[in-house]
Amino acid sequence: MRSLIFSNNPASLTSRLGATIDVEQNHVRFLGDLILNLWDCGGQDSFMDSYLSTQRSTIFQHVGVLIYVFEVESRDMSKDLSYYRDCIDSLRKFSPTANVFLLVHKMDLVAGDKGAQLEKKRRELQHESGEVGVTVFGTSIYDESLYKAWSRIVHTIIPNATILSKHLTTFAEACSATEVILFERTTFLVIATSNPVQAESPFPPPRAITSGSSTPTASTALATSNGISSPPSSLSGTVIPGAEGGDAHKLNATRYERTSELVKALKHSCSRVREEFYALEMELPEFTAVLDEMTKNTYVLIIVHDPTIETAALKINIRLARQKFEELQSDSVGS
């Protein structure tokens, strides 16, 4: 699983990985100065016993996040659970503030109703955890579920995610975008997204600005390219009154994880021909989008539904916003 997220390996090659011996420590430079210290702990009984006895204080000290992986169709669930209980106890003693994530893994092997199976496991695990708050995800390396879980995990580690979101929202408005998503560069996990535009209309409120002129936004000049100077009259009839908070777009709920998965797959295809993925722009029947480098270690994806917005305008906006986000990121990581 680790090799998939952090080393850009495809799922089909995981069978070649060896067993983890003892603790493999990994430093993953995530978001520039934020370095994740990833302890990949081997799961064989003898290792587990030593973690819980002699190595107990070393392993469980200063833990930010505990990720405990269960096999969905485990041969010996009672043993898994007894180890888990011991781990939770140790964690409570040495790092009481740590976040706990439980991944119910190898979901692809479940035959039949996956949702019901996962729900059953979730209740069981929550019961086992006692008063420790845990978040349970069902995952599989063969689909996007793994990215969903890891994005959520990473989100809890990033200190200033809300501020990033706020700026992304401003940026989205300047681009007349429906949504802006910020990804980490190597893992392509979602760091932050713009908040949904409080749009009573499918398009953001139009401004009387012709393309090419610029508005100072968030101390950075962003070129606003907005072709329509007044809303087409035919639109107002089709607008759905903001019943559920103005989410008229009803975008696919799994889009973030699927995007991570798709881009990683494309990156992998590029690397096979010794090329490096750099940027992507699309004008598809459904939307216009640009995926480009934002800062040294992030990528941004802008989704626009307004057909009059050109990809070139979005690219200029990204270029102009770069410095601001670079500053923002060093603030958020430095603190």
Partner 1 sequence: MASSSNGTKSPPTQVQRTKVLLLGQRRSGKTSIQQVLFNDVPPKQTFYLEPTARIVKHVYDTVIPLEIWDCPGTTTIDTLGAPLAEFSSIIFVIDIQDSYQQPVARMLDFFIAAYQESPDISLEVFVHKAEAFTEDYKLENFRHIQQRVIDELLDISSDYEQMPLNFYLTSVYDHSTHEAFSRVLHKLIDSLPYLEDMLNVFCANSQASKAFLFDVKSRLYVATDASPVDAGTHNLCCDYLKTLNAFGPLYKSSSASPLRLTASSPSSPPKPTFYPSAAVTLAPSTQGTTLTYHLITPQLALLTLMQTAVFEDRRGLLEYNVVFFREGVQEISQVETDARTGTS
Q: Which residues contribute to the site for partner 1 (CB under 8 A)?
A: 12, 142, 178-179, 202-203, 228, 232-235, 238-240, 248-252, 255, 258-259, 262-263, 265-266, 269-270, 272-273, 275-287, 289, 293, 303, 305-307
What minimum distance in Å lies between the beta carbon of 307 and partner 1?
4
User: Which is nearer to partner 1, 11 or 209 (by Cβ)?
Assistant: 11
Comparing CB distances to partner 1, the nearer of 47 and 277 is 277
Is 135:152 a contact under the CB 8 Å cutoff?
Answer: yes
Distance CA 298, CA 183 (A): 5
Q: How far is the CB of 94 from partner 1 (least distance, A)?
A: 41
Cα–Cα distance, 138 to 117 (Å, whole number)? 10
For residue 176, which of 287, 49, 30 has the smallest C-alpha distance? 287
- Which residues lie below 8 Å from residue 124, measured CB to CB, with a gap of 6+? none
For 39, 46, 52, 74, the CA distances from 83, given in Å and listed in that order, are: 17, 12, 9, 13
Burial 138-151 (b: 16+ CB within 10 A, else e): bbbbbbbbbbbbbb
Nearer to partner 1, 97 or 252 (CB): 252
Shortest separation between residue 318's beta carbon and partner 1, angstroms = 13
Judged by beta carbon, residue 14 or residue 160, the one nearer partner 1 is 14
- Among residues 100 and 291, whose Cβ is nearest to partner 1? 291
CB of 98 to partner 1, least distance (A): 34
Rounded least distance, CB 276 to partner 1, Å? 5
- Rounded Cα–Cα distance for residues 108 and 180 (Å): 31
